[in-house]
């Protein structure tokens, strides 16, 4: 007994304990109503929320549904609400939580099953702002035998780099009350990516994007609540990008006014 204890202690350098996780379940095949289900599990200092969900799925309840892939905050799949705050499961550690931990699907998106939400509307908004390089008049026509790469200085890269770190996890949409109030609002990530390409020296698509941005449902629906930037797991600061977009949209309107 005593040897076993010593072995366990020497193996586990972390603080192990038992924690309770409540998950909001929604199984449309069996019930139209969502309900809370509590799970109990051993955790240590290294247990992420995603580890805990995997533990539930593998050891306790195989009916639980949730999305995940990379487990290192780059795929953006495992977003959930943790005690009401949007978080990535893989970047959230249970050691930081005392008492009950409540896990819900991301807010402001229709729930398909358990923690799986329908993100279609976000993808539509994303597609609407054309988040890719648009270059209608390349300097030289493309020659497959001698392809030329775009040239960009580190200073030109620095202008948009922060906004290029978005992983499309959708946490900012769950944090944004304006998107919750009006799902037609293009939302933080889409507007940020539009701004990211507008700032890119290789891009010439600003004019095309401006018509989408400079609408009520574009940048002007944002009231700078700023919670999107608080929850962003990649420190993109979408609130800054959206509001820089307002400055650009205002300039665009003024210029259009003078041009007639």
* Residue bearing tokens 């289900």: 37
Compare residues 76 and 238 and give the one whose CB is closer to another protein: 238
Instruction: Supply the minimum distance, in Å, between the C-beta of residue 242 and another protein.
Output: 9
Instruction: Supply the minimum distance, in Å, between the C-beta of residue 5 and another protein.
Output: 43
DSSP 165: G
Radius of gyration for the alpha carbons in the chain, expressed in angstroms and rounded: 23
Instruction: Supply the minimum distance, in Å, between the C-beta of residue 49 and another protein.
Output: 19
Compare residues 6 and 181 and give the one whose CB is closer to another protein: 181
Instruction: Supply the minimum distance, in Å, between the C-beta of residue 195 and another protein.
Output: 12
Strand residues in 34-144 grouped as ranges (E): 35-43, 79-82, 85-88, 101-104, 111-113, 116-117
Name the nearest CA neighbour of 177 among 221, 112, 213. Answer: 221
Instruction: Supply the minimum distance, in Å, between the C-beta of residue 233 and another protein.
Output: 16
Instruction: Supply the minimum distance, in Å, between the C-beta of residue 122 and another protein.
Output: 9
DSSP 106: P
* Residue bearing tokens 């497959």: 144
Compare residues 29 and 155 and give the one whose CB is closer to another protein: 155
The contact set with another protein (CB under 8 A) reads: 84-85, 108-110, 118, 120-121, 124, 128, 155, 177, 180-183, 223-227, 230, 237, 239-240, 243-244, 246-247
Compare residues 92 and 244 and give the one whose CB is closer to another protein: 244
Give me the phi and psi of 156, to 5 degrees please. -65, -35
Q: Using DSSP, state whether 80 is helix, strand or coil.
A: strand
Give exposure, 225-243, as e/b (b: 16+ Cβ within 10 Å): ebbbbebbbbebbbbbbbb
Compare residues 118 and 135 and give the one whose CB is closer to another protein: 118
Compare residues 51 and 248 and give the one whose CB is closer to another protein: 248
CA distances from 160 to 81, 210, 252 (A): 29, 17, 19
């Amino acid at each position: 007994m005593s040897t076993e204890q010593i072995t366990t202690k020497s193996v586990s350098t972390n603080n192990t304990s038992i924690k309770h996780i409540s998950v909001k379940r929604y199984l449309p095949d069996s019930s139209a109503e969502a309900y809370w289900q509590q799970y109990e599990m051993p955790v240590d200092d290294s247990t992420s929320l995603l580890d805990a969900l995997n533990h539930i799925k593998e050891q306790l309840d195989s009916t639980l549904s949730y999305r995940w892939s990379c487990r290192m905050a780059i795929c953006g799949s495992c977003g959930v609400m943790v005690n009401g705050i949007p978080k990535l499961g893989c970047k959230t550690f249970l050691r930081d939580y005392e008492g009950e931990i409540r896990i819900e699907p991301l807010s402001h998106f229709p729930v398909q099953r358990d923690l799986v939400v329908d993100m279609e509307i976000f993808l539509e908004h994303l597609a609407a702002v054309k988040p890719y390089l648009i270059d209608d008049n390349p300097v030289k026509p493309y020659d497959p035998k001698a392809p030329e790469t775009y040239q960009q200085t580190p200073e030109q890269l620095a202008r948009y780099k922060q906004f290029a770190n978005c992983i499309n996890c959708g946490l900012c949409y769950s944090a944004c009350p304006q998107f919750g109030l009006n799902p037609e609002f293009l939302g933080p990530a889409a507007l940020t990516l539009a701004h990211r390409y507008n700032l890119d020296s290789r891009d010439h698509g600003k004019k095309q994007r401006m018509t989408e941005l400079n609408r009520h449902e574009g940048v002007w629906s944002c009231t700078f609540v700023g919670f999107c930037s608080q929850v962003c797991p990649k420190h993109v600061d979408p609130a800054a990008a959206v509001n820089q977009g307002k400055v650009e949209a205002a300039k665009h309107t003024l210029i259009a006014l003078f041009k007639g």
